[in-house]
Amino acid sequence: MSKITLNYLLGLLLTVFFVGCHNGSEKQVTIVSYNVENLFDTIDDPKTKDDDFTPNGYKKWTEERYQKKIVDLSKVLEASGDGQLPTIIGLCEIENKKVLEDLANSEALKGANYAVSHFDSPYYRGMDVGLLYNPKVFKPKMEKVLPVTLLSDPKFSTRDILRVTGKLAGETYTFYINHWSSRRGGSEKSEPKRMVAASILRRDVDRVLADDPEANIVIMGDMNEDPNEYALNDVLRAMELPKDLTAMPNNGALYNLMYFYDKQGKGTYNYHGIWNMLDNVIVSSNVIKKDKGLGVSIAPMEQRGKFFPATIFIEDWFTFESDLGKTSPSKTYGGPNYYGGYSDHYPIVLKLTRR
């Protein structure tokens, strides 16, 4: 056999191998949800109230600070994959498609060749949600937004919910990226806005389940609620995992995996020394109960402390420790004061493994 023929055959075999690797043979897929705390570029958009994040604005937001934040966030996301770049990254508090592309093209992340899913929201501050995904592993078939509006207040605007459905390593998955209304003005006063977001999301989830009762659904983002609060628990009906999974029906029900940490007093956001589980990841029952394919592996109750598919990703290098020894995410700003940190939230990492 000639050297040219041998090289050709080797090349062909490698091509077949790598195509196969991205056509349903991945043993593990990493999904990250991260509120990145005001990832704005420095350009003034006349259509939105983004003036604070300009060189002459309230925050004195310069190109140097912007580039530092891109590098910092990319390092967190790179490390969250545990040696492999995440396949799916859902992001909150991003300004536009450009900042998503800048993040995707950063030195730490460019190896994944991430593609972007993003739509401009009507939110007056110019803040959106977005999705980065590895196009070799996830192939979107449908991308759309669910507008969140209030009939009682036509002037109300907030972040749209992003829905992306496609083939994840050969299996159909639907992802929802959320950033519900903040607690500004108090949790009770702002709760009706989050209830509206939850009801709009619930209706769309019900449509997906009506078409396929065994749909694979992953809901993530900053809901600005702990798992047991009304919008999440009662309106969206995202429940706590039962102790005994063998008795759990595969009926399309939603399960909030962050109940596990919330009950331990842990959280992704620290407000005046109190931890809140504002960032949540929720899956449909089929992601848990399926016999074959990509899903979450839930250990028996007594082993869940060591083996759990969703984690709050925390490292010392993006954590702030006060003089009193209290820790919190290392944030970029506190009011107008620039601290140069990463984000005021910790990311959540979800592992899907192949059965």
Gap between the Cα atoms of 186 and 68, Å rounded = 33
pLDDT given at position 23: 55
CA distances 219 to 173, 185, 286, Å, are 11, 26, 13
Q: Is the predicted pLDDT of residue 13 greater than 50, yes or no?
A: no
**One-letter identity of residue 84:** Q
Q: How many CB atoms lie within 10 A of CB 117?
A: 23
Q: Within 13 A of 219's CA, how many CA atoms are on the CB side?
A: 30
Gap between the Cα atoms of 314 and 329, Å rounded = 8
Domains of the chain: 3-354 (3.60.10.10)
**One-letter identity of residue 271:** Y
Q: What are phi and psi of 10, to 5 degrees?
A: -60, -45
What are the E-state strand segments in 313-347?
319-321, 327-329, 333-334, 337-338
Strand arrangement of the beta sheet that strand 171-179 belongs to? 138-146, 161-168, 171-179, 216-222, 279-284, 254-256, 238-239
> What's the pLDDT tens digit per position in 125-184?
889 999 999 999 999 999 999 999 998 888 888 999 999 999 999 999 999 999 999 987
What residue has token string 């995996």?
A: 257
**C-alpha dihedral sign at 146, 149, 154, 155:** negative
DSSP 44: -
Contacts of 280 (CB under 8 A, 6+ apart): 219, 220, 221, 223, 225, 227, 232, 238, 256, 257, 258, 348
Give the model's confidence band at 7: pLDDT under 50 very low, under 70 low, under 90 confident, else very high.
Answer: very low
∠ CA 65-69-70, rounded to 5°: 120
Q: Is the predicted pLDDT of residue 19 greater than 70, yes or no?
A: no
Gap between the Cα atoms of 183 and 169, Å rounded = 37
Bridge partners for 33 per DSSP:
90, 348
> What's the pLDDT tens digit per position in 179-227?
999 987 777 778 999 999 999 999 999 999 999 999 999 999 999 999 9
pLDDT top residue among 151 and 315: 315
Gap between the Cα atoms of 251 and 271, Å rounded = 37
> What's the pLDDT tens digit per position in 72-99?
999 999 999 988 999 999 999 999 999 9
